[in-house]
Amino acid sequence: MMRAVCVDVPGGPENLLLRAVPRPQPKGREVLIKVHATALNRADLLQRRGLYPSPPGESDIIGLEVAGTVDTLGPGVEGGWRPDDRVMALLSGGGYAEYVSVPEELLMPIPPNLTLCQAAAIPEAWLTAFQLLVFIAQVKEGEVVLAHAGASGVGTAAVQLARLFGAVPVVTAGSPEKLKMAESLGAAAGFNYKEESFAKGGADVILDCIGGCNWEQNVSSLATDGRWVLYGTMGGRAVEGELLGKLLSKRGHLLCSLLRSRSLQYKAELVTAFSRRVLPHFSGQRASLRPVVDSTYSLEDIADAHRHMEANRNTGKIVINVIPPNQDTA
Digit-by-digit pLDDT tens for the chain (330 residues) are 999 999 999 999 999 999 999 999 999 999 999 999 999 999 999 999 999 998 888 999 999 999 999 999 999 999 899 999 999 999 999 999 999 999 999 999 999 999 999 999 999 999 999 999 999 999 999 999 999 999 999 999 999 999 999 999 999 999 999 999 999 999 999 999 988 888 887 899 999 998 777 888 888 899 999 999 999 888 777 778 788 888 898 999 999 998 988 999 999 999 999 999 999 999 877 779 999 999 999 999 999 999 999 998 999 999 999 998 766 544
For residue 94, count other CB atoms closer than 10 A to its CB.
Answer: 25
Q: Is this prediction's pTM over 0.75?
A: yes
Closest CA to 132 of 166, 109, 162, 91: 162
pLDDT of residue 246: 84
Strands (E), 155-292: 168-173, 189-192, 203-208, 222-230, 253-256
- Distance between CA atoms of residues 283 and 260, nearest Å: 27
Q: Where in the chain is the domain with CATH 3.90.180.10?
A: 2-121+290-321
Longest C-alpha distance within the chain, in Å? 59
pLDDT of residue 235: 77
CATH class for domain 2-121+290-321?
A: alpha beta
User: Helix or strand or coil: residue 4?
Assistant: strand
pLDDT of residue 329: 47
Q: Give domain 126-256's CATH architecture.
A: 3-Layer(aba) Sandwich (3.40)
- Distance between CA atoms of residues 101 and 95, nearest Å: 10
Q: Where in the chain is the domain with CATH 3.40.50.720?
A: 126-256
* Residue at 249: amino acid letter: S
